[in-house]
Amino acid sequence: MKYVIFASYGNDSIALIQFAHERGLADVHVAYSDTGWAASWWPDRVAIAEDWVQSLGFTPHRISSEGMEALVMRKQAWPRGGGGKYQFCTAALKEEPARAWLALHDPDGEATCMTGVRREESENRRDAPEWVTSSEDHGGRELWQPLVRHTSAMRDQLALKSPLPLLPFRSKECSPCVNARKQELRLLGEQDRNKVRVIEIKAGTNSKGNPRVMFSPKRHNGAVGIDAVIEDSKHDIDDLFVTSTCSGGWCGG
């Protein structure tokens, strides 16, 4: 395989696939991390995207992982947002399965990996490189991020040529994301809210007797549990901490 695009099928990924098509790249594989934690409606978008990918002559793939519930039960804790060491969902649901998949499908490490990272997206991507000769995140393979200098308007121009509608928010491959801001929490659908509730009940309490809940009560005015967190998000529009995204372009666009 010559190129592997890591796609979440959000706007940036769609723009990147369109870019690869317009550049005439051949032997392109598009890998989607199926975290099992997507928004309830997201699989429909993924199916349309995969049909489109195939129509361009590219090959779609899905990379599966243990999923959020198994991860929380194994760690006896929810991952936390903020991009630090407690955001272990990035490694468990995306990085490690992707590296294992690459080792299996590209054992000699010859593929060029591609992501749709853009510098404009966030503070922690402001210096994202276009080329990395040997990307540690991708098992030492070459990494190409051709959209790093694209503005959102340029990105939209590319994405609008696809059959996928432009999204007014980031990818919902994980919903809710541990980095969800209050605005996103306010709009969380009942099915996605319920799947959090089910795991919170199953996860019980920690050794100090505190409930194992997805979102830190400290960050949500003391709200404990998904229902209270959503209620709080309706009354408080200010996020207490600046949020972060996964490193290395694994999540988001």
Contact 129, 27 (CB under 8 A): no
94 interacts with ligand SF4 by CB under 6 A: yes
Tell me whether residue 28 or residue 174 sits nearer to ligand SF4 (CB atom): 174
Six-digit token pair at 163?
A: 């059959």
| Residue 245 CB, nearest approach to ligand SF4 (Å) | 7
Which listed range, 88-96, 116-124, 155-163, 199-207, lies at the site for ligand SF4 (CB under 6 A)? Answer: 88-96
Residue 117 CA, distance from chain mean position: 12
Count of residues engaged in binding ligand SF4, rule: CB under 6 A: 13
E-strand stretches of the chain? 3-7, 28-34, 59-64, 112-114, 131-135, 141-144
| Residue 95 CB, nearest approach to ligand SF4 (Å) | 9
- x/- site string to ligand SF4, residues 221 to 250, per CB under 6 A? -------------------------x----
Strand, helix or coil for residue 8: coil
**DSSP class of 175:** S
| Residue 250 CB, nearest approach to ligand SF4 (Å) | 7
Residue 183 CA, distance from chain mean position: 18
Which residues is 4 bridged to in the sheet? Answer: 29, 113
- Residues numbered 159 to 188 that lie near ligand SF4 (CB under 6 A) are 174, 177-179
Question: What does the binding site for ligand SF4 look like in residue numbers (CB under 6 A)?
Answer: 35, 79, 87, 89-90, 93-94, 174, 177-179, 246, 251
